[in-house]
Amino acid sequence: MLAALAIALAASPAYARDIPETPDDTIVVTANRSEQPLDRVGQSISILDAEDIEIRQTQAVADLMRTLPGVTVTRNGGIGTSTSVSIRGADGDQTVALIDGVKLNDPSSPGGGFNFGNLLVGNIQRIEVLRGPSSILWGSQAIGGVVNLLTAPPTEALAVNARAEVGWRNTGQAVANISGKAGPLSVSAGGGYFRSDGISAFSEARGGTERDGYRNWGANLNLNLALTDAISVDARGYYSDGRVEIDGFAAPTFAFGDTEEYSTTREFVGYAGLNAALFEGRFRNRLGFAYTDSDRGSFDPAETFAAKGRNERLEYQGVVDIVAGSQATFGIERETSRFTSASYGGPEARGRAQIDSVYGQLVATPITGLTLTGGLRHDEHNRFGGATTVGASGVFSPNDGATILRASYSEGFKAPSLYQLQSEYGNQTLRPERAHGWDAGVTQRLLDGAIEASATYFRRDSQDLIVFVSCNAPLSGICAGRPFGTYDNIAEATSKGVEVALALQPVPALRMQGSYTHIDARNRSPGDANFDRRLARRPSDSVTTTVDYSWPFGLQTGATLTHVGTSFDNASNARRIEGYVLADLRAALPVTRNVELYGRVENVFDERYETLFRYGTSGRAAYGGVRVRY
């Protein structure tokens, strides 16, 4: 591992940067829920912008995110299968996922989380990952952190971007986006199609032979209508329709293996809002309605499972510039969630919950170089009652950005999911999961930003975690009427670790960056048989290094090396998942001013590995494509 870290500190993931190359050159929106210079943010955040995403050529959002500090990705097979994203050792259901600021989390899933498996890069042009509990501004589920995905925005001039690629196992992809402005109306609209024969979800190294394919249609829309200089209307939409073949437990042995099963997922996200900037823009108001709808099904070949989830959110947010360097953000929200689910055509389970929220946050710069942030939130749930969270952070630079010190304390909570509350296994006495965490770090820039090093220590303690419990006769207490089990708040966990990064740019054409993450995530449930054992599927060590070089004649070449350490597949730590190393190569060459050819080889050394026991992963794969811009 020390050797891997040494490599990471000599090279790096190009352009996936935690801190801007020069002070004030990066604006983020996720940390404060409004635009804020990154050097005024005390929390840990990573950014992938449009240039980063284009250079990396990655198909799935989760594969981009796995190269970021503190992020762990597990997948039930190839692209399109169920994919979980964990931040700093938290459960995947404790990650808030947003697209253009609207929550993607699925109310119909057992834990209420978001499945990243159906989320392709498509026309996504920016990814921000906020690490650490963040419920003050983002509410329920923001225990591990927040992932905010931003699609292509409208442009002043007419712009057309399109790409198409083909590759390994009959994979094909086409994506296009058009944007521009006509009078007061600004528009960005796009769509994409992806298909692949795929790999066997049951690991081919363990005997899987049937390829499990994947198909996806997607679309995005972003409109802004300026009614006056101070008032505008926003409308945004995102749609995804996927079908993926999976493997399962077929009769008569019910052993995991190749089957004819498949699942479908349809997701729609919509938003409409009114924006009003008052008092010469110092008081910015937004009144919006957000809508998320998901429809999932499993088939073998008849339907074996069906679930629908819907989330409606009415929200107001105000941002006030009080004096120079001081800003207040505040808002109120009402979120109503519904779900239905049924298995094998049986009776439907139904559920509904409502949560009302109020929050406020103040950012102040009392002296030059020091920015302090503090906030408070209260949520009132119609089932379990209230939850209050607080948080504070600070960032200080004594030398105009050459040295930056950061620290934060924050709290998070996760409301019980509708399934945990109101399904046939539900327990309506559940309390919210809670967590509090802190981190502290330093960033040092040298040689006018040509060298940048950073290190962050973090810790998070979680209580009242919800787990499934078995019920035995005689049935009483929370087990009454639940012969097959129910849910209860009985678990605790601790996660702590270190994130280290180094970025080098010795000449403008060469960018290098490396990151190393150590996570120690453990079960701290008193009396549990697995007390102090590592949490399942949380690798303790990971390293990512990337180098990208722009040649004088226009050719761009790059490589990414990722090492993920060992983990365990179960709570008892009896089943080990071996670590692995992945190497990717890429290149792009402009043919004309508007046309570019690109290609990549993923998993160059054909590493055989698993992120979940028995589930397959892709071997060596090559892809090539063309990109057009006007």
Length of the chain: 630
* pLDDT at residue 483 greater than cutoff 70: yes
Concatenated DSSP letters of 171-222: EEEEEEEEEEEETTEEEEEEEEEEEEEEE-SB-GGGT--S-EEEEEEEEEEE
Which residue type occupies 592? T
How much is the mean pLDDT over the chain?
Answer: 93
Check the CA dihedral 421-315-114-386 and report its sign. negative
pLDDT tier at 544 (50, 70, 90 boundaries)?
very high
Residue 141: CB partners within 8 Å, gap ≥ 6?
93, 94, 95, 96, 105, 112, 113, 412, 414, 415
pLDDT tier at 248 (50, 70, 90 boundaries)?
very high
pLDDT tier at 12 (50, 70, 90 boundaries)?
very low
Distance (Å, rounded) from C-alpha 33 to C-alpha 574? 42
Residue in 145, 67, 80 with CA at minimum distance from that of residue 113: 145
Q: What pLDDT shows up at residue 21?
A: 38
Using one digit for the tens of pLDDT, what is the confidence trace for 304-332? 999 999 999 999 999 999 998 899 999 99
Q: Which two tokens stand for residue 140?
A: 């329920």
Residue 603: CB partners within 8 Å, gap ≥ 6?
582, 583, 584, 618, 619, 620, 621
Q: What pLDDT shows up at residue 251?
A: 85
pLDDT tier at 510 (50, 70, 90 boundaries)?
very high
Q: What pLDDT shows up at residue 25?
A: 67
Q: What pLDDT shows up at residue 473?
A: 87
Using one digit for the tens of pLDDT, what is the confidence trace for 20-33? 333 446 889 999 99
Residue the block writes with tokens 């210079």: 37
Using one digit for the tens of pLDDT, what is the confidence trace for 118-167? 999 999 999 999 999 999 999 999 999 999 999 999 999 999 999 999 99
Peptide bond into 474 cis (omega under 30): yes
Q: What number is the average pLDDT over the span 174-193?
A: 97
Q: What pLDDT shows up at residue 13?
A: 31
Distance (Å, rounded) from C-alpha 266 to C-alpha 269? 10
pLDDT tier at 532 (50, 70, 90 boundaries)?
very high
Using one digit for the tens of pLDDT, what is the confidence trace for 345-403? 888 999 999 999 999 999 999 999 999 999 999 999 998 889 999 999 999 999 999 99
Which residue type occupies 398? P
Q: What number is the average pLDDT over the span 232-237?
A: 97
Q: What pLDDT shows up at residue 514?
A: 95
B/e letters for 402-425, b = 16+ CB within 10 Å, e = fewer, are: eebbbbbbbbbbbbbbbbbbbbbb
Residue in 351, 501, 341, 365 with CA at minimum distance from that of residue 416: 351
Check the CA dihedral 474-480-486-488 and report its sign. negative
- Tell me the percentage of the chain whose pLDDT exceeds 90: 90
* pLDDT at residue 1 greater than cutoff 60: no
